[in-house]
Chains A and B, each alone.
Chain A
Amino acid sequence: MIVDQLRELCARLLSEGTAQVVIGYGQAAPGKPAYPVFIRRAEDADQLVWNDQCMTNLAATLKRREVKALGKPAVIVKGCDERALIMLAKESQIVRANIYVIGVECNGAGRPAMAKCASCDVHVPRWTDTVIRETESQAAAVRTTPSSARYADLEAFMRKTPEARLAFWRAEFGRCVKCYACRQVCPLCYCERCIADKNRPCVIDTSATPKGNFAWHITRAFHLAARCAGCDECARACPAHIDLRLLNLALAAAAEDHFGWRAGMDPEAEPPAGAYSLKDKEDFIG
């Protein structure tokens, strides 16, 4: 059982002093969404769970000062969460060597599984310090998915008329209350002072009005362009069920189309917005 291995490893890391805190999943009751737990004593390792409710991207907890204060972390990641971790390292937000990363093979999170899982090609994390898997035979099955599967929802949406698309976003953004849950749960939204919180002068209207909401959503999406790891945590956190996934997909598709880039897929690759290349497109400069 994965969970037994996780608990054993957690207890060992803490008692050996490899980590001071193990960031994993806890759960109030079976079938309820799991949430982050911060285990600091080996004897608490049995609080950890592992099941299809482990949707949270725990990489997002690393940015929080309350969590940094706990000491050297070990963190449990699924394949999609690992992509965020790779981006955080690329953007110098974490020092990879100072974090012990526990990868867990994942065959889908959520019940029914989250939309992203249908086209997942990172079921087994690849660059973790250790990886815990169901069985060795499953390990052999490397699954790849065509990009058409990744962007199917986007492509269906883009077949609508521009008017229909605008009407859709008006209705979606119309429900936004500016609670910033989408930002707070995002591993890559780590700015200490978000541009949405700048008030001297105010850059983005704080009002949850059509103008203020379009400004917020376009800014959020653009700030995550070619950085978003596609964990869909923002969409899951939104109390108004705004389809943030669709917005993120549009930018991910653009990054893949124009730069052959998928965020966090390869720790060696340089991010398009963070590296200069002579081959960079400049045909948009008139």
Chain B
Amino acid sequence: MSEIITHAELRRLMDDWIARGGEVIGPAAVKPDLVQYARLESAGLMLSGYIHPANSIKEFFFPRSEILYRYKFTGKKIELSDVVNDPVKPMLIMGARPCDASMLPILDRVFNWDYKDNFYDKRRDAATVVTMACTEHDDACFCTSVGCGPAAEQGSDALLIRLGEDAFEVRCLTGKGRALFQGKTQPGERTAEIPPGPPLKFDADFVRKFTRDNFDNPIWGELTLRCAGCAACAYTCPTCHCFDIVDEGNAYGGARVKNWDCCQFSMFTQHASGHNPRSAQGQRQRQRLSHKFAIYPDKFGEILCTGCGNCGRICPVGLGVLTVLEEISNATPSLESVEPV
């Protein structure tokens, strides 16, 4: 026995959500050659034929730029105004990839382990996340190597699995998911098949141990020599979550804002003295991989990577996490022969 929803009914559900004043976010062809998660004006047609959007759903929870408070100078007085309690609209994320939704429990911990980040939490509370199981993968995908998969349930309120040409099997996973699909599905005889995921590509435990034991290994610099030092990988990554806090304004006032930042920029660790503890790109790449495969797992028990493959697909020099980890896994027996860079 399964629960089934037709494409038409699903579109109706999305349009109703918008009509009631909510926001719907889903994969959209924002340009002829570009699929991104974006706010949808209407349910339109379900996209198919893409592997993974060129961004992640991260920005709808943790926006690229967010005002923390505003300030105003009047004479010698400073006036602050709070924005944290500004209401957010109910948000329905429709058709997220499981490797995107899996980022939510990961970021929940980051934004709540000591300080409770109300900005993140209010969006999280307002969101219902519906994932769609992947029927295809490309050679950048590696979800199965990091404990995820084409029908992974982490972070999802309801999972849709393709059932023939015009329907999905619905698996409600949380109260939010059940509330969304209440009365919208029909019972069915058929159950959908979970498609196979990508093959295992590296051993994450080995990587964790390797990053711990090889802080000064020249292999980091060697394998990442072509890295251009941008943030294309981090800003399209569902799990990267670094930010910088800056004041932007003029003599009369302005705002304190929280903006995305990235460990691949040379400025990221630049001290005011001029000293930079991570002065070479290899050290910065080591940081990114260590954070994902050792530091975060040591602290929270899970890998800070869902294997979505965006970093590999999007990197201007074809250097994703996967490329480096595969090479480390292959190169390890002959590490001694690597010349220092």
Residues of A near any B CB (own CB < 8 A): 28, 32-33, 35-38, 40, 56, 60-61, 64-67, 69-70, 175, 177-181, 183-185, 193, 197, 199, 202, 205-209, 212, 233, 236-237, 239-241
Among the listed B235, B265, B281, which residue makes an inter-chain contact with A64, where contact means beta carbons less than 8 Å apart?
B281
Highest count of chain B CB atoms <10 Å: which of A37, A177, A185, A239: A239
Q: Is B297 engaged at the interface, CB distance under 8 Å to the other chain? A: no
Q: Is B65 engaged at the interface, CB distance under 8 Å to the other chain? A: yes
Query: Is the CB–CB distance between A28 and B248 below 8 Å?
Result: no
Known: A202-B248, A236-B316. A65 touches B280 (CB 8 A): yes
Q: Is B196 engaged at the interface, CB distance under 8 Å to the other chain? A: no
Query: Is the CB–CB distance between B64 and A35 below 8 Å?
Result: no
Among the listed A37, A181, A209, which residue makes an inter-chain contact with B232, where contact means beta carbons less than 8 Å apart?
A181
Q: In the complex, what residues of A have CB within 8 A of residue B65's CB?
A: 207-209, 212
Query: Is the CB–CB distance between B248 and A239 below 8 Å?
Result: no
Query: Is the CB–CB distance between A179 and B34 below 8 Å?
Result: no
Please report the C-alpha to C-alpha distance between residue A127 and residue B109 in the assembled complex, in whole angstroms.
57
Q: How far is the CB of A69 from chain B (nearest CB, A)?
A: 7
Query: Is the CB–CB distance between A237 and B226 below 8 Å?
Result: no
Q: In the complex, what residues of B have CB within 8 A of residue A175's CB?
A: 30, 36
Query: Is the CB–CB distance between B228 and A184 below 8 Å?
Result: yes
Among the listed B34, B234, B235, B341, which residue makes an inter-chain contact with A241, where contact means beta carbons less than 8 Å apart?
B34
Closest 4 CB pairs of A and B: A237-B316, A181-B230, A179-B231, A207-B65
Among the listed A32, A66, A179, A199, which residue makes an inter-chain contact with B282, where contact means beta carbons less than 8 Å apart?
A66
The interface size of chain B toward A, counting residues with CB under 8 Å, comes to 42
Q: Is B324 engaged at the interface, CB distance under 8 Å to the other chain? A: no
Query: Is the CB–CB distance between B244 and A36 below 8 Å?
Result: no
Stretch at the interface among B97-105, B162-170, B254-262: B254-262
Q: In the complex, what residues of B have CB within 8 A of residue A179's CB?
A: 230-232, 234-236, 262
Q: How far is the CB of A157 from chain B (nearest CB, A)?
A: 15
Q: Which residues of B from 52 to 81 have beta carbons under 8 Å from A?
A: 54-55, 59, 64-65
Q: In the complex, what residues of B have CB within 8 A of residue A184's CB?
A: 228-230, 316
Q: How far is the CB of A216 from chain B (nearest CB, A)?
A: 12
Query: Is the CB–CB distance between A180 and B231 below 8 Å?
Result: yes
0/1 per residue, B316-341, Cβ < 8 Å to A? Answer: 11110001000000000000000101
Q: Is B31 engaged at the interface, CB distance under 8 Å to the other chain? A: yes
Q: Is B86 engaged at the interface, CB distance under 8 Å to the other chain? A: no
Q: In the complex, what residues of B have CB within 8 A of residue A239's CB?
A: 54-55, 232, 235-236, 314
